[in-house]
Structure 1
């Protein structure tokens, strides 16, 4: 059987980009159990309430929902278990220093398979205020209207 290549997105956290200013992104591997991988291959996962934390010298992904595998038996995994993130030591140290600084958190942006291996894109992010959210929505709407006007004019 040929090896899987490319990037296949499983889940995205669109809410994170709405609620946070993304300052820096990292790609991390995940330590998963067998039935979790099978469930992910079916495209089932939710990053909505997920976040990451640094505990000692390790990075952990918390509150990410990967539902139980339908054909699984007693070996099935817990849906919201704590999952270890695979990052380089320098990346973990950088994340730990920035989050201790205050005001920054680590949120997952997307979960995907890259060349057959499960990866998660995490971001160092700062929370937005309500007026920031309204301002970014107004900017997006203005861009959309400008693009629509240009399309209309070029017809």
Structure 2
């Protein structure tokens, strides 16, 4: 678990950064059951295939997988049940307006704990084409080679 500025990052959706241009990010609270919080703290969560849906002034994250907590004595909820996102009205309106624009979508980026509360980082994003992905990989490889060359050239 990574700690940065009081945040405990549990899961990062790296594939989202590869598949989308991130235009703007938002922080939302997650409405969870007690056993789900414990499961998320143990990093038993996945955002593969998860997406955000806004309807009737409420945002929900769908297809987010939270493994059932093994020590739960109560009934186990569905691991991929829709979970409500806690946002204020201004943020909801902004997200809804952005998602209505053709080619833009709402993508979950990471789940973390902030002062003990489960949060999710959402992005208003635009999909990348295959040529954009190839260009990003080329830049990444070039940067890696430059770093390696720089590291090898400094010898005392």
TM-score (norm 2): 0.93
1:39-80 superposed Cα distances (whole Å, 9 cap, x missing partner)? 112221001111111112011111100011111234222100
1:16-35 paired onto structure 2 within 5 Å: 16-35=16-35
Output the CA distance in 2 between the equivalents of 1:19 and 1:52: 16
Output the CA distance in 1 between the equivalents of 2:38 and 2:153: 50
Aligned to 2:146: 146
* Aligned 8 A contact 1:13 1:110 in 2: yes
Aligned to 2:124: 124
Structure 1: which 5+ residue stretches go unaligned?
none
Output the CA distance in 2 between the equivalents of 1:145 and 1:40: 36
* Aligned 8 A contact 1:35 1:77 in 2: no
Once superposed, what is the RMSD of the aligned Cα atoms?
1.2
3-state SS, counterpart of residue 70 of structure 1: coil
Aligned to 2:82: 82
1:2-151 paired onto structure 2 within 5 Å: 6-151=6-151
3-state SS, counterpart of residue 131 of structure 1: helix
Structure 2: which 5+ residue stretches go unaligned?
none
Output the CA distance in 1 between the equivalents of 2:85 and 2:12: 17
What is the deviation of 1:16? Answer: 0.3
3-state SS, counterpart of residue 97 of structure 2: helix
Output the CA distance in 2 between the equivalents of 1:8 and 1:23: 24
Pairs aligned (count): 151
Runs of 4+ in 1 over 6 A off after TM superposition: none
Output the CA distance in 2 between the equivalents of 1:136 and 1:56: 37
1:13-35 superposed Cα distances (whole Å, 9 cap, x missing partner)? 00000010000000100000111
